[in-house]
A and B are shown apart, each in its own frame.
Chain A
Amino acid sequence: MAAEVVVTGIGLVTSLGADRESTWAAIRAGCRGLAPLSLFALPGRPKPIVAEVRAIPRRKGVPKRALQGSARTDRLAIAAAREAVQDAQLDEGMLARAAVILGASSAGMLEGEEYFAKALAGSHDATRRELLGGIEAASSTARVALALGALGPRATFTTACSSSAHAIGHALDLLRDGVVDVAIAGAGDGLCRLAVAGFLALENVSPTGCRPFAKDRDGMTLGEGAAVLVLERADRARRKPYARVLGYGAACEAFHATSTDPSGRGAEAALRAALRDARVDAASIGYVNAHAPGTKDNDAAEATAIARVLPHRPPVSSTKALHGHALGAAGAVEAAITCLAVAEGFLPGQGRTDVEGDLDVVMEGRSARAEHAVSLSLAFGGNDVALVLGAVS
C-alpha cells in the first residue's frame, strides 16, 4: 500500500503578509492585498491594480551564494522555502535527501527584460550572469536547492498558472513511489512587465480589483508571491501535519491558447482524475479553493465543472480576490491556503459579491470542518490541475 503523504511545513510570501502566519491572519480577516502597481512603470498604460509583495523577507540560514545575483522570483521562492523547512523541523540530513519540485511562469523575467533591453541594444552589460539567469525557468529551483542544501531530484514545471499545482502533484507521486521521503514543492513568481502588459493587451485585467464568480466581474488582478510546502511520508513526520495530500489529477483542454473551454471539460476531467487518484467520494469534498481569477470565461467554465462533479454544492471560494493571481505560484499559494483551511477548520471568504450561478460561494470566512478539500488550477493552453487534500484526524 502506498505511503500516506502529509504536509508538515508551509512557507508563504504574499501581498497579504511576509510569512505564513501574517498571510493566514489577513485571509481570516478578509483583508485584500491589492494596490496600484509600484514595482515598475508601464509607459503608455495607466497603473493597474495588482497584488504586490512590498518587501521580500530575508530569512536566517540562507547561504549568501544562493542569493548572489538572484532574481526577484528566486528571492520570493527562497524565503518561502526556508520558512517551510523550519516549520517542518527538517534537519540537514533530511534536507540533503529532499527533492525540490517547483513551478515557474514569469520566473526571472523582470531581470530578463533588462537582459533583452541591453542585448537588443548590443550592450556588453547584457552578459551579466544575473540577467541571463533571469530568463531561465529552472533558475529558482536550482537556487532553492542550493539555499537548502537539497541534493535530491529537482524538477521545474512550466505550465503557467497551474505550474506549482503540478509541482505539488509530482512531489506526491515521488513520495508515494518511494523515490524520496521528503519533498519541497511549490513556487515563487514575481511580477514583470511582460506579464502585466501582456494580460493588459489581452484585456483580461480588472481596473478595480478582481471579483471572482461575480455577475459583474471584469477581469483578474495580477499578483506575485511564493508558497512552498514540505511533503513527507506520514510515518516520518516530526510535527503534526497540516493536511494529507491525497490526489493529483491533470487534463488538457486542447481548446485555445488563452481562453478556457466554456464547457468546463478540462477542469472537470482534472477534478475527476484527482478524486480517482485520491480514492475519495466526491460527496465528501467540503471545500473548493477555485482557480477563478475573475475573468468572464474562466469563472463560468469552472463553475460549470464544479457543479457537474460536485452536485452537493460544497462551499467554494477564490482567494485570488484577496492575494491576486500569483501566476506560476498561484497553485501553490492556493494549495497552502487550502491546507491551512482544513487544518484550522476555517473556510476563507472572498468578500461580498453578487454571485452568478448556483455555487455556494464563501463571502465571509467562516468556521467549518472540511474532511476533504480541492484546490483547482487552470492555465493558459488549457493545462488544468486539481489537488485533493484531506484533514488530519
Chain B
Amino acid sequence: MKITGTGLVAPSDGAPEEVLLDGRTLLLRRAASPSSINARDARRLTRPALFALAACKEALGDAATLEAMGLALGSGFGSVEATRLALEGLLERADLISPTSFVASVRHDAGSAVARALSIHGPSAALSARRLSFEQALGWALIQLRRERAPAMLVVGADEVSPLLARSLARARLRSERIVDGEGAGTLLLERDDSPRPALARIERVVEGTGSVDDLIGAVRRELGGRFDAVFTDEEGSARRAECAARVAAAFSCEKVAVGERTGHLAAGGALVAVEAVRSLRERTLVYAREADGAYCAYALERP
C-alpha cells in the first residue's frame, strides 16, 4: 500500500512546561491550537478531535476526500478532560451532567468529529491499546485496504495531556515523574496501489504479538525481513526502554531514532513517530512500539 500524505500536530519544542499540582511539578509538552481550524470549530471540538482534524486536513492536502474513504483512530484515552468535565457535574447531582460533555467523553469522539468534518463514509473504527493505539489502528486500516473495502484510509493517532491523570499516575508510581507528557496527533493517508497519487512511502502490514524484546526481533525478522537502515520508536523515559531500543537497532545493525524524546509521552505517540519516519525516510525503516506488558507492534516503511 502507498502512503500518500502525512499530517502532524506536534507538541511544542523547547523546554517542557512546568505545572504545579498538589505540591508536585509535572512536565508537559502541550501542542498549540492548529491554525488550519477556524476558531468556531476549535471551540466546539475536544483537544484530541482538534488535533486529529488538523493532522488529517494536512495529510489530505489538496487531495479530495473520497466518499468511500475510511478512517481509523488510535487514542489511548480519548478526551480525559471531557470526561472530567462530564463527571464534575454528575458527581454532584445526576441531573447536572451536560449532554455536550457526555457526548464529548465518548472514547471515539475524535474519529467521529473528523468523519463529520471531512464527510468520510467508508469503514470507520477507533482502537485503544495504551501506547500501541496508533499502530493497531494502522493494522486495521491496512486490512480494510487489502480487502478492498475502501480506496483510501486516513489513520490518525491523537491524545491530549491531562495534568490530573499525569499527577495520579506519577503518585501511583505507575511511571516515573521524569516522564514528560505530550499531546498532539499524527496522520497517515494510505491508498491502494491503483491510486494515481505519488507514494511517499510503502507499507504492507503491521506485525503484532506479545513477548520479550528477542521475541519482537524474531517476529520482525520472520515477518518483515532483516534489512533496515533505521529504527524509529517512541521508547524513551527510562533506561530499560532506551536499552530495548538500542538492542533492536543493534540486532538490525542500523541507526536508532527515538522520537519520543522530542514529543513527550502520549499513548498515541506512535502516530508522531510514523509521520517523522515517513518524512525522513531512508531506504527501509523499521518502526516499532512496545507496551510494558510485552505487547508489541512493528512495521516496515520502504522507499517507493
Contact = CB atoms under 8 A, between A and B. Distances in A.
Q: Lowest 4 CB-CB distances: which A-B pairs, in order?
A: A381-B112, A198-B102, A252-B124, A42-B94
Interface stretch (B28-36, B169-177, B182-190): B169-177
B102 A173 contact: no
A158 B127 contact: yes
B149 A257 contact: no
A44 B96 contact: yes
A117 B128 contact: no
Interface in A160-202: 160, 166, 170, 173, 177, 193-194, 196-198, 200-202
A381 B129 contact: no
B14 interface: no
B218 interface: no
B25 to A, nearest CB: 16
Give the size range of B's interface with the partner.
35 or more
B217 interface: no
A383 interface: yes
Interface string B106-126: 111101110110111111111
Given A44-B96, A158-B107, A193 B121 contact: no
B87 interface: yes
A252 B128 contact: no
Interface in A131-180: 132, 135-138, 141-142, 145, 151-160, 166, 170, 173, 177
A170 B168 CA distance: 34
Main SS at interface, chain B? mixed
Interface of A: 42-45, 104-105, 112-113, 115-117, 119-120, 122, 124, 126-129, 132, 135-138, 141-142, 145, 151-160, 166, 170, 173, 177, 193-194, 196-198, 200-202, 249-258, 265-266, 269, 273, 277, 380-383
Contacts of B118: 254
Interface stretch (B53-61, B77-85, B243-251, B282-290): B77-85
A116 B128 contact: no
Interface string B278-302: 0000000000000001010000000
B147 A250 contact: no
Contact of B107 (A126, A137, A250): A137
A318 to B, nearest CB: 22
Contact of B109 (A128, A132, A145, A381): A381
Interface stretch (B5-13, B191-199, B206-214, B231-239): B206-214
B211 A151 contact: yes
A170 B90 contact: no
A116 B121 contact: no
Contacts of A160: 106-108
Contacts of A124: 171
A113 B127 contact: no
B108 A119 contact: no
Contacts of A132: 168-169, 172, 174
B88 A120 contact: yes
A166 B125 contact: yes
B164 A277 contact: no
